[in-house]
Homo-oligomer: A and B are copies of this chain.
Amino acid sequence: MKVVRKISELRGLIQLEKNLGKKIGFVPTMGYLHEGHASLLSHARTENDVVILSIFVNPTQFGPNEDFDSYPRDFERDEKIASKEGVDYIFYPSVLEMYGDNATVSVVVKDRNDVLCGKSRPGHFDGVVTVVSKLFNIVNPSKAYFGKKDAQQLAIIQGLVRDLNFDIEIIGVDIKRELDGLALSSRNVRLSIEERENAPMLYECLKETRKMFEESNDLDNAIRSTKAKLMENQLGSLDYLEILSYPELKKPDKKTTTFIVAIAFRYSTVRLIDNIIFKKESEKMEIKNV
């Protein structure tokens, strides 16, 4: 496994692999790897000849009051996990290497970004699609792997690839959870003991909302009753709980067959997200309140 810090060096190495006809699988991350990332890497390892992991805490996707500085970083630990997962190259560029001079051009999201996390994180997804476009052009992979925990990001990146004609297959990988149901996240380490004990309720709320929606076919009611419970939680505050179509991220209508129920919840210094994507033949079911 080789760590590469320069774009030009990585391009050269990838070109050599491509000249040998090798298929490149790419896992872009912000580091502080957990089993969710390991699962992405393991998928990439199975489906490609060469696996490239990027570790880059991308400043342009953090808002001015967000946690760019306190975002957890531990490169040595990441290196060990990457090595264990059979990564061939870690691309670990500096901010200067990635952004150099002031940018004259960037990529912007025009749809799917006015709901869920996009609502409370203006500009976040513009930063994501810009850095992902840059990484795609640097790595030029056949397949790229993203976790379904960031379901809105995954939907937006599928739109990016379609709309800018990247010749890359995007693979969404299932959410990894702790035994108590908490979705794995690099941010989990920053929860207090009390918050950590409380946090599995996010997934419980998602399951409950989904169940209520499937049983009653009443979208508003399913959301409302779970929200009431969440409001009582003294340890944090609800950012959103929504049921939308997936991957369009629109208010579901009678044609919707794939839904997402998604939550964001703020503890003192950490904002956590989680979701369940599920299928349902709404047409046959006469959903109320859609």
Contacts and interface: CB of A to CB of B under 8 A. Distances in A.
Query: Which of A106, A111, A134 neighbours the largest number of chain B CB atoms within 10 Å of its CB?
Result: A106
A123 interface: no
Query: Which of A107, A112, A140 neighbours the largest number of chain B CB atoms within 10 Å of its CB?
Result: A107
A287 interface: no
A87 to B, nearest CB: 21
A46 interface: no
Interface in A142-177: 156, 159-160, 162-167
Give the copy number: 2
Interface of A: 7, 11, 100-112, 129-130, 133-135, 137-138, 140, 156, 159-160, 162-167
A162 B130 CA distance: 13
Given A104-B159, A159-B104, A164 B134 contact: yes
B105 A156 contact: yes
A234 B98 CA distance: 51
A52 B107 CA distance: 26
